[in-house]
Amino acid sequence: MADLRSKLTSRLRSLTEGSAAPAPAPAGSPADSGAQPSTAILDSYAAEPPSPQLAVDLFRGEWSSKFPDEAGIDAGGAPLFEDARITWMLQQLDVAGRRVLELGPLEGAHSWMLEQAGAEVTAVEANSRAFLKCLITKEVMGMRTTRFLLGDFVAHLDTTTEHFDVVLASGVLYHMREPLHLLDRIAAVTDRLVLWTHYFDRERLDAAGFGRQFPDEPTTVELAGESYTHHPRLYLEALEWNGFCGGPAVTANWLERDDLLRHLDRIGFRHVEIGFDDPISQNGPSILLLASKAE
């Protein structure tokens, strides 16, 4: 017993005096090779006091959204926190206490507007950088009832068993390779859809200077005995920006306006109220609508 006590005492003394042998360096590490270890990781540490701007600046130059003036945050230039499309939606629907599924929240501005109106929001974002910006927005704007999920919202719709009071699909349909499939899956989880999307009109797109994004011939899609036209759109140099807010592939397919409305009717959204229909909007013809399965 005395011998054991002596050994323990000696070991404890060696540890407190710093004489214990260091752990061996992992194989292949800079220390193992004798190279000077990199200190680049230290650049990830903040030196300033905490602030909302410091968090937003993690993605400086990549933001689309302009935060409300009272937030005192410098980010993007698009007034998405006071978006007229969501204002119109809230004029048509009382979302207080309602479950809203938002597809592609981008940076969380529309989610914030919905939460301010009392909605319980689940927002699904596939772009990992946009998802992280949503989490920053949630923190700096004090959001409490919105849940942001990272993942592909089509895959989510393909597998979820949940039902939502409303689905908001703003700025996502024209980024899909299979836009009709997305509409089908939305119809399976809700009776109300608020949709804002661009649609294809060759004359209008050419006049606006976007014709070069549609160099390929259209294709015909047969679905449940109906024929629809897909117009392939290329993202081109937009893919070079870290703040890119398009779809997950290098191309997407745009629908024509009549095909869109016809398919909504076919999948059960028989009551459509159009908020805005702008054939000369900035980035191509666009339409905002509320589609319902019942009056």
Q: How far apart are CA 12 and CA 9, in angstroms?
A: 5
User: What's 189's domain CATH number?
Assistant: 3.40.50.150
Amino acid letter for position 222: E
Cβ atoms of 157 and 185 within 8 Å: the answer is: yes
Q: How far is CA 151 from CA 128, 129, 130, 155, 156, in A?
A: 8, 12, 11, 8, 7
Cβ atoms of 257 and 270 within 8 Å: the answer is: no
Cβ atoms of 80 and 64 within 8 Å: the answer is: yes
As for how many domains the chain has, the answer is 1
Evaluate whether residue 226 is within a structural domain.
no
Walk along the chain (295 residues) and give the pLDDT tens digit of each residue: 445 445 444 544 444 444 444 455 555 555 556 678 888 888 889 999 999 999 999 999 999 999 999 999 999 999 999 999 999 999 999 999 999 999 999 999 999 999 999 999 999 999 999 999 999 999 999 999 999 999 999 999 999 999 999 999 999 999 999 999 999 999 999 999 999 999 999 888 888 777 777 877 899 999 989 999 999 888 744 555 465 556 566 688 999 999 999 999 999 999 999 999 998 777 889 999 999 998 6
Return the axis-axis angle of helices 128-140 and 109-116, rounded to nearest 10°.
Answer: 40
Evaluate whether residue 218 is within a structural domain.
no
How many residues are there in the chain? 295
Evaluate whether residue 29 is within a structural domain.
no
Vertex 198 angle, CA 182 and 164, to 5°: 40
Evaluate whether residue 138 is within a structural domain.
yes
Q: How far is CA 127 from CA 69, 243, 244, 246, 268, in A?
A: 26, 10, 9, 9, 30
Evaluate whether residue 102 is within a structural domain.
yes
Evaluate whether residue 227 is within a structural domain.
no
Evaluate whether residue 16 is within a structural domain.
no
Evaluate whether residue 206 is within a structural domain.
no
CA nearest to 169, candidates 47, 96, 260: 260
Q: What is the pTM of this model?
A: 0.84
Domain that holds residue 146: 56-197+257-292
